[in-house]
Each structure stands twice: as C-alpha cells, then as structure tokens.
Structure 1
Amino acid sequence: MQARVADILKDLDINPSQFENGDLDVHSPIDGGLMGRVKMDTKESVDAKITAATEAFKKWRTVPAPRRGELVRLLGEELRTYKDALGALVTAECGKIFEEGKGEVQEMIDICDFAVGLSRQVHGLTIASERPGHHMREYWQPLGPVGIISAFNFPVAVWAWNAALALACGDPCIWKPSEKTPMTAVACQKILERAIAKFGDDAPEGLSSVIIGMRDVGEQLVDDKRVPLISATGSTRMGREVGPRVAERFGKCILELGGNNAIIVAPSADLEMAIPGIVFGSVGTAGQRCTSTRRLIVHESVYDDLVPRLKKAYSSIRIGDPLKQGTLVGPLIDKMSFDAMERALEAARGEGGVVTGGGRALADEYGDAYYVNPAIVEMPEQSASMC
C-alpha cells in the first residue's frame, strides 16, 4: 500500500518522505497496510496554533471580503488541478470507491465557487428609524477563529464546507481531522498553502492549521475560549459531549451528527427508480455516511415485488478494492466498524428479524481489511434496534 500511496502523493506534488517519520501510523482500510506516518500535536503545539489563528484574525478580518474571496477562488483552482489525485488519496485512506473520492473533491470545488459569490454578498439591512433623518444599519462582522472537527467518512469535504465559508467571512480555521484519516488533511493544508502563496501577503501566518491527534486534542480545541465557533461532524455521542462543553463557555456550535434515515416506498412508487436509489443510498461509502439509508418503510401492496428485487440487486454488488475500476463497495474503515455491524445484525435477529447477507467478504484475499456483504433485515414490527 505504501508504494501505491507514494505514487498518489507524487501526483499531488507532495514528497512521500514527509509521511515517514511521524508517531501516528496510518493504515489503509483497503488492505490494512501502512500508508504512512504523521506527527501528532502536543498540548503545547495546539496552543501555539490557536494563538497563531487568534493573531491572524486581527489582520484577516480587515481584508475586504471580495479580496478574501479571491483566496477561496484560488483554493478552488488548486483543487481542480489535483482533483483526481486527492480523490485517490481519499479512497486509499477512508475506503470509499474512487468515483466517490473524486465526487467528494468536487464538493470541495463547488463550495469554493459558492463562497466566492458570497464574499461579494456580505451585506446587512438598512432599517427605518423612528427618529427623523436617521436610519439603522446592520453590518456583519467576522467572528474569529473557527474550530473544525471532521469524521473519517468525509475526510476532506467537511473541512472545505466550513473553511471556504469561514475564510470568505474573515475567520481563520483550525482543523482537527479524524485520527483515522490524517493524511488527507495534511494534503489539503498543503494545497491551501499553495493557494496562499499565489494570493500574496494579505494572508497572514496562522490563517489555517491542522492539529493531529486523539480525543485529548479535540477536547483542547473544544474547550478553548479563543475559538468562538466549533463546527463538529461525527456521532451523536460526540455531539452530546461537544455541544454542552462549548455552550458552557458561551461559544457557538454547528453539529452535523449521525442519522437514522428512512425511505418510504408508497404504492405509487416507480420501483425501477426506487431500487437503484435505495441500493446506492444504503451501500455507498459501505453504508458509513450520516446520510446512509438505514430503514425502508414499504407499503404492503408493493412489498412482495420490491424486496425480492432488492435482494437480487444486493447479491450482484461488486465488492472489492475501491481504487479499481468497476468496484461499487469498498471496505469498512476498521474492525471496530465491522464489530458494530455484527452487533447490530445480532440485535435484529434477537428481535425476530430475518437477515439476508451480512458477514465478511474477501477475507481470504484481505485478511487485515474488513470488507462485508451488505445486509437486508426484514423486521416483524418496529423495534428498539430500528429507532
């Protein structure tokens, strides 16, 4: 895997030797092999990066918004240049298929285009006053350093969704990526630094930084009063911890958490359209998105037609190396995710569910990776495991 990743890094114009001497081993879910090593931050280095962002804010907030938008435009251009290579790195590190990896980078490009437009629309209201000859004006001010916490399943797009808007609005960014996908974060930071070099001296030092580490690093970012906004993406468990901690210091929070998404199939549904939508919504990114389809609520009049066809579609899904053309489903991120899937299927069986599919796939070929067969569970009634 290291040789494959080295080629990807070269396509990104990044020297692979930069990922040789860190203290955090990064393993690819594709085969469990070592991708590289990254250096983890300490309490002191996190504090230094927050301090640098605080200082950068003093200058960046004074740069006119359209000029700030120019930096975001340049970032979008850099992402266009490296779209395929960054998409491949996303695939190697989180396991989603290459088309999804490229699609995620396209989402980064799209938000950059959107933020550039917004940089010329940072305006407020002019409000009538009861005093003769007077009016009131609403004017939006930059907020300050923004902390971004992202999950492994969208290792780059979540950062871009936040950073493009924050930078256009005058706010520096401090990014804590998942410890499972740090190499893509480092690559994105290097791409942004290239855009900054083209942008010029209006961009201060410390405008964007990445902090690598485990839970303690995230907690330090969440608890720091110098970071007025935390945008965190992850599990509902994480959100329940982050939200109150930020609120306790009167900070602001944006939380994008897990979902329990359902598709309702009515008698009038076009099954030729519904089945592909259900399949991709369920198995894309190996079912690890917050937007993944987790429940089907099917009208009894179409149940006997839909379910057999859905099972047939599931049985034909091509599972394998997500970097190879033709693969539709790659691996789960790690053994922990596989064990969680196994527990969920066992709980469903305990509630009377009938399971079709599931279990490890390609175990002989990828003994250190966790490919699985997608599962369909037919439940006799709504139960605790469904809610």
Structure 2
Amino acid sequence: MFDRSILEKLGIKEENFGACTGLEWSKTTDAGVLEVHSPIDGKLIARVYQASAEDYERVVQKAEEAFKYWRTIPAPRRGEIVRQIGLRLREYKDLLGRLVTYEMGKSIQEGWGEVQEMIDICDFAVGQSRMLYGFTMHSERPNHRMYEQYHPLGPVAIITAFNFPVAVWAWNAMIATVAGDTNIWKPASKVPLTAIAVQNIVGEIVKENDLPEGLFNLVIGKGSVIGERILEDKRIPLVSLTGSTAVGRHAATKISARLGKYILELGGNNAIILTPDANLELAVPAIVFGAVGTAGQRCTTTRRLIIHESIYDRVKESLIKAYKSVRIGNPLDDKIHMGPLVDKGAVDTYLKALEQVKAEGGKIIYGGEVLTGPGYEAGTYVLPTLVEAENHYQIVQEETFAPILYLIKYKGSVENAIEIHNDVVQGLSSSIFTNNLQEAETFLSAWGSDCGIANVNIGTSGAEIGGAFGGEKETGGGRESGSDAWKAYMRRQTNTINFGKELPLAQGIKFEI
C-alpha cells in the first residue's frame, strides 16, 4: 500500500496548480485538469490544473529577469546552491523515490535509484562549477593574446518524459544552473506530481538563500499550449527534450526555424551481442535487467539480443529460466523486479507489437500475456516477453516501449554481428559480452558500434552520470549529464587582445590609410 501521508510531506495536495516561478504558484483553473492515476492500482492520486498561455508568459518573463541576475553570480557560488539542493534531496530521497514509483510504476529500487541519480548529478555539478574551462592559443600576430571562454546562455527549457520523471530534469537543470542559466521545466503530463514535489524541494532552497523568482520554473500543460510555445520562443536559446523520435523531429524543425539550440534524447533500439567467448554468468543478469527494468520503458532498454549460433540454444534456455524467476507485482515492495506499464495505452502497444511480430514470422517463446487476478486489477501488468525474430522485421526495427526482447541469431565473425547491430535507425546504447580482446576492441572501434554509448561486459542500461549521455542517428545526437556536456548550456566566445602599439592584420593583409 502507498502511504498517502507522503503526498502531504512533499507538498502535494488533492488539487494542485500547474505553474510556478520558484516562489509563487499560478491560480489558473480553466486551462484543463489532469487526473493523475497510479498505474500500480489505478487509484486517483491527485489532480493538477494545467497552465495557461498567460501562465507560460509569466514564467518566461521571470526566467529572463532572474537570468540577468544569475549570470552575474560567480560560478562557484552558483555551485553552492546546487550543493544545497543535493543535500536537501538526500533528506527527501525515500519519500520522493516512493512517489516516483507510485506515480510512474517503476520498482522502488529504481525509484530510489532515480533520486540518487539526482543527488549524484548535483555533486558532479558542484565540482563542475569550478571547472568551466576555456582555452588559450598562440596568436600569429606579435603582442596579441587569444583565448576562449564560456558565458551563460539564458533561460533553458527542459522537456522530460514519463519514464524518468525527475532524474533527466536534474541532468539538465543542475548543469545549466552552475553554467549561469535559468530553468523552465515542462514535465510529461502522465507524471506531473513528482515534478511538483521537486519544485517544492528546490523552492525551499530558493527561499532560504533569498534568490529571485524565475531561477527554477515549472510549467505543466498541454503540448499545443505550452510545448509549442517553448519550441517557437526566441527568448529560450536552448531546449533539451526527451521523447520519441517523431516528437524530436518536430521539435528540431521548429527550433531550427528560429536558429535555436537543442539537445534531443530520442528513441533507442539497443542491442547486446553475445559472442562464443561471452561469460554467460555475467551476461544473463545484465540482459534480464536491461530488458525488464522499468518494465522495458527506458530509452536504454535492451530490445535486441544478437547471439552467435553456437551458443544460441544455451542462451535461450538460460533466459527462459531467468524470466520465470522475475517477480512481477506492486513495485512498492522492494523484492519485486518489475512493476506495471505506465498505462493501458502502453499495454495496447505491447500487444500490438506482439501481434505484428507474429505476423512477420516471429515466435514468442516466453510471455506475451497481460496479467489478471488479485494484485493486477489495474490492467497494466504484463509478462516480460522473449521472441525469436530477425533483425529485418519492421517491428524489430522500431522501438516498442515495453518489455519485449528479440532474440536474433548470427553466424561467423563478430563483424557479422556488428553489421546486424548497426542495421537500425536508432543509435543510443549498445553492448558486447566477450572475453576476446580483439572482438571487444573491434566493437569499440570506428567500424564497430555506431551508438553514442558502447559497453563491454555490462548491459545497455544504467549509465553513470560521469559520462556524457546521448546517441546518434535518429536518437538525436545530443549529450547530457557528465563529461563536457556542460558546454551545450553556455555560449562560446573567442577573444583576442592586442597589447602592443601596432595594428597588424591576420594573414599578413596590408591596409594603410
């Protein structure tokens, strides 16, 4: 059972407003209302009044005003605010993790893990606040100095998806904050309550430090009212969007039309290659977590398993045995491996994908059912499913946000497996299990995996925040989180200083007057 006192402790009321500038909430009640039901039991959690166009305008104005102040604050002092946010998230980790699970449906272990990911990126961003480095270079002209520096960019819009309702916001917002930007968050309409809870937590820090309105902003609303305005708004120099490839393509078109910047984290069709030299004791648990974690609703979910023919039957038997041990049920129980899909629409997508793969010649070897009976009354629980398939099937080429794993056989060398692996339009995460150094290095080479993330002897999901996160091809090409992803949230400037008494021109050009 979910302890509803958690809602009160996180500032969630029976009826909530959909826009906040960090200090004040909107009062709009006539722009539509979201009724938020838990996929675990189908019960109504709370309602949210959606933001209006007027609410959005006020949010952007406050974000602009706050940016003029925030960009003047030294980056290490900006990092201090992020440090305090990280400490406060530690205090709320249990409560917020439970709300993530109840609202979205992922296991409580993953709910807590998502909040830990927020804490980790706060810690990372604090260190980054003292490492916003530029470069110096030698000028060809005497008595000249050249260097590069990075400046704050402006209000940054962060549009997040339902599957990671809080962590992806933190990836962007914490880095943007130390970079000197203000934040405008539009969460997925399926999971607005976790966003409200986070806004309340961050609001405590804003008030305690006497910071201005507009530093952290939240706007919950319809895509046609709020989303489109964000994409077209020239006052927002950067939009970071997580969603489907179709949504990303639309966003890129709109933002590019105004010559804005964007970070797109879109679809994944992630695969693991198992070569004859794979350590299956390592591989099988990684495969199961990658395919079953978050009920298959991660962008990094393992969707294809490319297995050498010599070990195919052994792997298949091991996976069927492992899948039979997956515990499915109320994800608030910390012993449960897999909870529900996010809603009945996701269940329909799951069933349609299985019908299509069967029509194309695939064979379901485990699962393929919607669970019924006590504990499954919400109609959102399914069996994780194993399907024997071929990579060229149309449904295998697509990303189905559900726990369906396609088993694909390959012959010959690892190059053949890599060719199959790369033969999809998505390019997010990838993995190979092998103890053969040549196979591993081939997979990581320029002619190996074409994904933004490539792993050896670990699975496709569960990326650490220290590395830049993102993919290639129709996954979008953006990068978030660690490494030097911070540069996307700042504007780059090249500077040249003449400290001499003459004015030589570059390239030796002569211009005398």
- What interval of TM-score do these two structures reach, taking the shorter chain for normalisation? over 0.9
> Which residue does the alignment assign to 2:279?
270
Structure 2: distance between partners of 1:186 and 1:236: 27
> Which residue does the alignment assign to 1:118?
128
> Which residue does the alignment assign to 2:294?
285
Structure 1: distance between partners of 2:181 and 2:52: 24
Work out whether 1:322 is the aligned partner of 2:303: no
* Aligned partner (choices 207, 210, 233) of residue 242 of structure 2: 233
SS at match of 2:152: coil
* Aligned partner (choices 237, 260, 264) of residue 269 of structure 2: 260
Task: Pick the structure with more strand per residue.
Answer: 2
Structure 2: distance between partners of 1:5 and 1:251: 44
> Which residue does the alignment assign to 1:81?
91
> Which residue does the alignment assign to 1:383?
393
> Which residue does the alignment assign to 2:105?
95
Work out whether 1:54 is the aligned partner of 2:64: yes
Structure 2: distance between partners of 1:384 and 1:272: 32
Displacement of 1:358 after TM fit?
1.5
Displacement of 1:197 after TM fit?
2.4
SS at match of 1:218: helix
Matched to 1:155, the amino acid is P
What percent identity do the matched residue pairs reach? 53
Displacement of 1:255 after TM fit?
0.3
- Distance verdict in 2 for CA 1:175–1:262, change over 3 Å: same
* Aligned partner (choices 109, 115, 120) of residue 119 of structure 2: 109
Structure 2: distance between partners of 1:15 and 1:214: 20
Deviates more, 1:328-337 or 1:356-365: 356-365
SS at match of 2:150: coil
CA contact (8 A) 1:363 1:369 kept: no
- Taking only aligned residues, the RMSD between alpha carbons, in angstroms, comes to 1.6
> Which residue does the alignment assign to 1:210?
218
CA contact (8 A) 1:357 1:373 kept: yes
Normalising by structure 1, report the TM-score.
Answer: 0.95
Structure 1: distance between partners of 2:16 and 2:332: 21
Work out whether 1:166 is the aligned partner of 2:176: yes
Structure 2: distance between partners of 1:365 and 1:66: 50
Displacement of 1:328 after TM fit?
0.5
> Which residue does the alignment assign to 1:44?
54
1:173-231 per-position Cα deviation (integer Å, ceiling 9, x unaligned): 00000000000001111111112223x23x32111111111211111111111000000
* Aligned partner (choices 5, 8, 11) of residue 6 of structure 2: 8
CA contact (8 A) 1:6 1:16 kept: no
SS at match of 1:376: strand
> Which residue does the alignment assign to 2:316?
307
Task: Pick the structure with more helix per residue.
Answer: 1
Deviates more, 1:22-31 or 1:295-304: 22-31
1:57-81 per-position Cα deviation (integer Å, ceiling 9, x unaligned): 1111001111101110000001111
* Aligned partner (choices 26, 47, 64) of residue 74 of structure 2: 64
CA contact (8 A) 1:332 1:338 kept: yes
1:303-351 per-position Cα deviation (integer Å, ceiling 9, x unaligned): 1111011011111211000001211000000111111111111111011
Displacement of 1:382 after TM fit?
3.4
Structure 1: distance between partners of 2:179 and 2:299: 27
Matched to 2:103, the amino acid is E
Matched to 2:237, the amino acid is P
Q: Which structure has the bigger radius of gyration?
A: 2
Displacement of 1:369 after TM fit?
3.5
SS at match of 1:71: helix
Deviates more, 1:216-225 or 1:124-133: 124-133
Work out whether 1:188 is the aligned partner of 2:198: yes
Structure 2: distance between partners of 1:5 and 1:147: 33
> Which residue does the alignment assign to 1:141?
151
SS at match of 1:178: coil
Displacement of 1:130 after TM fit?
2.3
> Which residue does the alignment assign to 2:252?
243
* Aligned partner (choices 337, 343, 359) of residue 346 of structure 2: 337
1:333-378 per-position Cα deviation (integer Å, ceiling 9, x unaligned): 0111111111111111011111121211135543334000001000
SS at match of 2:199: helix
CA contact (8 A) 2:390 2:396 kept: no
